[in-house]
Structure 1
Amino acid sequence: MIWLSIVLLSCLALAPAALPLWRRARQVRDERSAALSLHEAQLSEIDRDLDIGLIAPAEHDIARLEIQRRILVADTAPTHADDAIPPVAVWSALGLIPIAAVGLYLTNGVPSLPAQPLGPRLAAQHEQNTRGDAVVQRLKATLAMIPAGDPNLRQGYLLLGQAEATREHYAEAAEAWNHALSLGFDPEVAARTGEALTRAASHVTPQALDLFRKALDAAPKDAPWRGAIQARIAEGEHEQDNP
């Protein structure tokens, strides 16, 4: 099926280049035929004028000779256009283009790559989402059973936030990480929470900006994410100054 598609696409791509060649040859033939038809009509016209006495026989003979001369000139006109590059060479070059394209595809592409229909991919995505929902629900059920003073509660909220962020549910991830922050501040978690809030709102919110500042103040000097936090703070301050 893919090869048929390649052939059809090649024909469509080459059509604009091939059409002028065909039109030019047809135009030359049409101009020659039109000239011959015109001169033959002129012959018939002067014969009719002679019959009804509009012109003298001598004038008729002179006009007839002139028209016959024009017919000979038109009949010897070329039936094809003389190009600097022969049409055969042009058509050959056009034919080589799809062959070269197929060659490039075979050498640089992956013809053996199996097809990836949309239906199975959507089904796989739905199955993955279903599994993710089940994991999140189990985490929430487990968190509901952990006592308030248990150290595992904070770790559970961290895991829940990570699971939600993996699914790109940034608002839910920020909510879970905020619970973890309320049980114990950590600059990296604060930075993640601010980033989740920013992605959920598509801009740096005041709450996210506050978290970024707190994270930067408490972050180790060698923290690899300090630069990203500073960039977010600058972005948030710019948005505040230019609402």
Structure 2
Amino acid sequence: MLWIMMILISLISLIPCFISLYRKKYPSIANNPSIAFYQLQLKELESELRQELILPEEYHQAKLEIQRRLLNSDDQSEKNNFISCDPATNGHFFILCGLICIPLTAIGLYLLNGVPALPSQPLRTRIAEQQKQNKDLAPYVKQLKEKIVTLAYNDPKRIEGYLLLGRIEAEQGQLDNAIQAWKTALDQRFDPYLAAQIAELIIQKNGHMTEESFTLFQQALQRASSDAPWRNIAEQRVMEYQKNNP
């Protein structure tokens, strides 16, 4: 069913291209020099008739001849337009083949590089795998915590240990523990980017901007460089909080 839907969506998306290829173009008087020339001849005939340079019979015969030529010109224009709409005569056939090849190539690349035979993984299975990973990492996390507390307060490895601990706990979904670990590292040595990360983690935990995250963003902006890549996001967070909490 999925493959049928993909093919139908691909064909529907190409409909405007097909219409533009086979749309018939009608000639315009302004762009047709033959029609303009015949109209000029009619005006000259009418002028000669008013000046009595030709007889009425001659005028009607000449007018009929001009109208006949005008109709022949229109017929020839329609034939040319019909020929120009033939995809086999003006390259449209190759364009059409190219348009059809686009979805076929996309599906082929998906079959080669994707995994269409891989079944969807239920949420229960993913949760079970995450819990298994957390359980496997638990002994290492415990060893890391025990190692960190033995380090001196001014030891740079102590900061690195808390940063690593916070990253692991954030990936495990233990946001409270991750925030606490990063705050410990921030208290030892202030880092603007780390402060912004903690503020974002607090927002993720609470689902909205809090006063604590607002304060951290302000401190980070005051100490960060003007070209910090995360500066715009932090400024937007601060402005949003100030707007909602005047």
Q: Tell me the TM-score normalized by structure 1.
A: 0.50
TM-score relative to the length of structure 2 = 0.49
